[in-house]
Structure 1
Amino acid sequence: MSKIVDYELFEVPPRWLFLRVETSDGLVGWGEPVIEGRSKTVRTAVEELMNNYLLGEDPHHIEDHWQRMYRGGFYRGGPILMSAIAGIDQALWDLKGKHFETPVYDLLGGRARDRVRVYQWIGGDRPAEVGEAAREKVDEGFTALKMNATSEMRSVDTPQSVTDAADRIASVRKAVGPEIDIGVDFHGRVAKPMAKRLASALEPYDPFFIEEPVLPEQNESLPDIAAHTSIPIATGERMFSRWDFKQIFNDGAVDIIQPDLSHAGGITEVKKIASMAEAYDVALAPHCPLGPIALAACVQVDACSHNALIQEQSLNIHYNKGGDVLDYLADPNVFTYEEGYVDLPTDPGLGIEMNVDYIREQAEREVDWHNPVWRHDDGSVAEW
């Protein structure tokens, strides 16, 4: 019987944490357990889980391991624990696929598509001059883009702030035409009154979706916002389990869910969330501004989920300073984007091979990424 005998954690630029799990029969599985800006905290949680629940165990009992990690502690859920579980779960599925010499999606019922559509980020935290950037990405072959809608915004802001946001979207729509999808991320920066006003102002430019129009703790506002717009509503990157998603499914206001494979319990949990969403006619678009292991895990779930709509990926995203998705792969061609799609991987497990020497080298660098803390003109803290 195969057993888990060792693990290693690597904190690498720009802001990622990689987990390497080794078994007694010589197989290695990789996961990406991280909360952006809290990697050291998640690292400790992974160590607690691995030492208390996984070392010496058969790696194949993935569902049981998931339940023990989740239910084995009296306190459960939340971003830290669920991200730690997520990375471990990814590594276990990677190991199982390698043991059976097949991609993870074959173990989850087989593929439901031949390729996965992806979108490309344009602009930064404070979006500006996005029209030209949009045209460049479309020329590279992308058929869908995403951008931030605003910088910081007061709970009730000026008419000019709404006009500025609409003008930015208008410039992108003018640059790329009606055949390109444009996702617009409110990033939880917008309070309910402004979310309704912004949605109305953006309607003429037909956004693909508006993302996180309010913070998850204000999800009860989503039906009211949905009643004010025909734009599809997306949310979910800061929701961490199927129980977190129950209410928005019941409310019927969300059209696209965006659970993160490195935050929401990994492959095991997001596959369940995807199935719940399908029952409510809600599409899946996993959140992934992260590294190659997280992206590989997303593609495995997208491959076998009928309601998978599109996949976020972080190549050249504004956060990636000092490292990018393809840098850590032995064969970066596994994520070749053509016509706005990525082909399904065919190698076993997660379908990627990590460049271990490069990972060890980069792990020697100091990594201390934290998101900025923004403030309003009066000095109060603003949502980033």
Structure 2
Amino acid sequence: MKITGAKVIVCSPGRNFVTLKIVTDEGVYGIGDATLNGRELSVVSYLEDHVIPTLIGKDPHRIEDIWQFLYRGAYWRRGPVGMTAIAAVDVALWDIKAKVAKLPLYQLLGGRSRDKIMTYTHANGVCIDSTLDAVGKAIDDGYQAVRVQSGIPGLDSTYGVAKEGKKYEPADAALPGENVWSTQKYLNFAPKLFDAVRSQFGNDIHLLHDVHHRLTPIEAARLGKELEPFHLFWLEDAVVAENQDSFRLVREHTTTPLAVGEVFNSIHDCRSLIQNQYIDYIRATIVHAGGISQMRRIADFASLYHVKTGFHGATDLSPVCMGAALHFDYWVPNFGIQEQMPFSEEMESVFTFDYKFSRGFFTPGEAPGHGVDIDESLAKKYPYKRAMLPVNRLEDGTLWNW
């Protein structure tokens, strides 16, 4: 079997997605997600100009060799653009291999380790009362885990919280918008939010929260300590992780579990975090961290240090990535939880998938491969629209982490 062609499909059914399709001489094809939120066309260029020409004529079954060829052979290693492109190729090749074997992807990874996959959803509100309403709805829908975000008094906009009457979509403009942030207002407010949630819904529901890299280590340590009485499932992205030792200070001051990694691109981005047991959950994604092949290495390494997986699963990842992630979740022994934001009807008309969702849990389905496909003719009806993520400034105008 040989690879005879590959093409990139860009579409925007409500938001931009990049999909790679690899075709073989035996008519079997596989698809992978190559979406990099706000920088989609950079990956398209890398795939079309540098990656696809090198794939023609290769044996698609040699997944590991092709991964090493694209990683080691590029010289300029790592980075979000290159690793997203490698991930797209890797997932498409795993899709082909599983289809040829006539097996669902998780069987090739080693079979399932669980019967169903716990997921968490988002509950957002402009104030505590509306956030409580959103948490209650999620619980009524059967979720056992809920990420809680709320608007902060005194700030016009807050990460994770949509304008009233709209769904949250951060990449919402052709040029970056600007948000205003106050760490003081946030730190004073967050414990009140979780006190209200626990007071109304009790201790049986898992609660999660995303800081979005906005605190210094000592500020994050304070927040983690003050949230301890509310027993969070995790506190996500408490600080920026370029300096992995930043998490040491947080860890030393709080028992609140810590999660990080959705912006990571390789095992090297999280090696110290895992090896020093500074974190409890690794959130690196299949689409941005080099595909299934590298995520297996990260997960196996993490298991040695009691760190579990917690894949990013917002709508900036296409159903292709979600399908692959769920097969991985089904198999990986040190599974923690899977994030889920429901896709729109537009998105689900362009992509078909075999995975199933019911009252807070997923199963990946039994279709050969990862079970997700794209309707190319329908995708053409949704052309690319430039959409960028916003930037963040402190109240005095200083640029800050978004």
The answer, yes or no, to whether TM exceeds 0.5 is yes
Aligned-residue offset at 1:382: 2.3
1:163 to 188, 192, 199: 188
Q: Shift of residue 211 of structure 1?
A: 0.6
Residue-by-residue CA offset, 1:206-226 (whole Å, 9 max, x unaligned): 111001111111321112101
Instruction: Quote the residue 2:326 is aligned against.
Output: 299
Identify the residue that residue 355 of structure 1 maps to in structure 2.
Answer: 375
Hey, what does 1:116 align to over in structure 2?
117
Shift of 1:139: 0.7
Partner of 1:11: 11
Structure 1 residue runs of 5 or longer lacking an equivalent are: none
- Corresponding residue for 1:339? 359
CA distance in 2 between counterparts of 1:163 and 1:182 reads 19
| Aligned match of 2:259 | 234
Map 1:39-54; keep pairs closer than 5 Å: 39-54=40-55
What one-letter code is carried by the residue in structure 2 that aligns with 1:370? M
Aligned residue number for residue 133 of structure 1: 134
Mark the runs of 5 or more structure 2 residues left unpaired by the alignment.
Answer: 153-157, 159-179
Q: Distance in 2 between matches of 1:108 and 1:273?
A: 14
Are the equivalent residues in 1 in contact too, given 2:313–2:340 (CA < 8 A)? yes
SS at match of 1:249: helix
Give structure 1 regions of 4+ aligned residues with deviation exceeding 4 angstroms. Answer: 124-128
CA contact (8 A) 2:195 2:230 kept: yes
Shift of 1:126: 9.5
Identical counterparts, % of pairs: 30
1:174 maps onto 2:199 in alignment: yes
Match of 1:91 in 2: 92
Say whether the 8 Å CA contact 2:181–2:393 is kept in structure 1. Answer: no
Correspondence 1:314 to 2:341: yes
Question: CA–CA distance in 2 between the matches of 1:368 and 1:43?
Answer: 13
Moved more, 50-59 or 248-257: 50-59
Q: Pick from 238, 246, 253 the counterpart of residue 213 of structure 1.
A: 238
Distance in 1 separating the partners of 2:142 and 2:22: 36
Residue in structure 2 matched with residue 368 of structure 1 by the alignment: 386
Cα distance change, pair 147–371 in 1 and its aligned pair in 2 (3 A):
farther
> Of 265, 280, 291, which aligns to 2:290?
265
**TM-score, normalization by structure 2:** 0.87
2:215 maps to 1:190? yes
Contact preservation (8 Å) 2:120, 2:147: yes
Q: Measured at CA, do residues 44 and 127 of structure 1 come closer, stay the same or move farther in structure 2, by a change above 3 Å?
A: farther
Q: Is the 8 A contact 1:162 1:201 kept in 2?
A: no
Q: What do residues 239-287 of structure 1 show as CA deviations (whole Å, max 9, x unaligned)? A: 1112222111222111111111110001111111111111111111111
Do the aligned partners of residues 270 and 357 (structure 1) sit closer, same or farther apart at CA in structure 2, a change above 3 Å counting? Answer: same
* Paired residue type of 1:349: G
CA contact (8 A) 1:46 1:88 kept: no
Name 2:352's counterpart in structure 1.
Answer: 330
Alpha-carbon deviation of 1:42?
1.1
Q: Which amino acid aligns with 1:356?
A: E
Structure 2 Cα separation of the partners of residues 82 and 249 of structure 1? 20
Q: 1:46 to 1:126 in 2, by over 3 A?
A: farther
Flag the 1:35–1:286 CA change in 2: closer, same or farther, 3 A. same
Structure 1 vs Structure 2 CA RMSD: 2.2
For residues 174 and 87 of structure 1, do their structure 2 counterparts lie closer, same or farther at Cα, with a shift above 3 Å needed?
farther
Instruction: Write the distance in 2 (CA, Å) between the matches of 1:329 and 1:126.
Output: 35
Query: How many residues get paired?
Result: 372
- Is the 1:30–1:90 Cα contact (8 Å) retained in structure 2? yes
Deviation string, structure 1 residues 76-109 (Cα, Å, up to 9, x no partner)? 0011111111111111111111111111111111
The aligned amino acid for 1:361 is K
